């Protein structure tokens, strides 16, 4: 049962996005819900032998719990994305050289972007986590194309080194997903479902 609204029609529990990502913040703003942002202090290194899907799920939940510990009365969203190339996790490149190597490896390949989201509320004991895998088929990319793209967009803070919402779309042959914002970093269909289950009323 959703919790009652206040007299002003607002949700009674605050909403916190447990992420430092501006992409996730911009996506969550689409829902027209007031929220604050808190950066989780979470080690994102994979465990030995950990599969990309399991890594994304674990980190999304860990981020939500880390922030919920500081905001126990809030509904907290945690999310994580891992690029999955044949079972190997690829993280954010961080610089030009690593981004070049990632795109060289993904050229002509199908990469699964495992985008996980978790919603936690300590006060009510609510916890849900889900994942939205996105199949991305990359074109065959030559060195000049990779260099032009990276110089133009500098996607060094994006898992997989390509921004599908920007110029990176030109590197792709196809995107297959049932949650269209998942590739950008936050699967909003699943997020909305969990927020409702946590008791929030969406506009």
Residues annotated catalytic, as ranges: 80
Question: How far does Cα 62 stand from its chain's mean position?
Answer: 13
For residue 142 the two structure tokens come to 């030559």
Distance CA 27, CA 41 (A): 21
Tokens 């959703």: give the residue.
2
Six-digit token pair at 186?
């936050």
**Burial zone of 194 (CB within 10 Å; 0-12 exposed, 13-18 middle, 19+ buried):** buried
C-beta separation of 84 from 114 below 8 A:
yes
Radius of gyration of the chain (CA): 18
Q: How many CB atoms lie within 10 A of CB 9?
A: 8
User: How crowded is residue 8: how many other Cβ atoms within 10 Å of its Cβ?
Assistant: 5
Q: What's the rounded Cα separation, in Å, for the pair 87 and 128?
A: 25
């Amino acid at each position: 049962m959703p919790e009652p609204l206040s007299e002003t029609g607002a949700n009674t529990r605050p909403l916190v996005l447990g992420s430092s990502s501006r992409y996730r913040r911009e996506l969550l703003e689409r829902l027209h819900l007031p929220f604050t942002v808190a950066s989780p202090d979470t080690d994102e290194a994979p465990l030995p032998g950990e599969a990309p899907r399991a890594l994304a799920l674990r980190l999304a939940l860990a981020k939500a719990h880390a922030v919920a510990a500081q905001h126990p009365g809030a509904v907290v969203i945690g999310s994580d994305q891992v690029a999955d190339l044949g079972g190997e996790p690829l993280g954010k490149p961080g610089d030009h050289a690593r981004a070049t190597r990632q795109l060289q490896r993904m050229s002509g390949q199908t990469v699964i972007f495992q985008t996980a989201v978790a919603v936690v509320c300590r006060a009510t004991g609510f916890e849900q986590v889900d994942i939205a895998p996105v199949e991305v088929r990359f074109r065959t990319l030559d060195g000049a194309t990779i260099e032009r793209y990276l110089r133009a967009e500098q996607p060094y803070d994006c898992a997989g080194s390509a921004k599908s919402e920007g110029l990176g779309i030109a590197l792709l042959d196809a995107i297959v997903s049932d949650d269209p914002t998942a590739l950008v970093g936050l699967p909003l269909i699943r997020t909305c479902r969990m927020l409702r289950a946590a008791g929030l009323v969406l506009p």
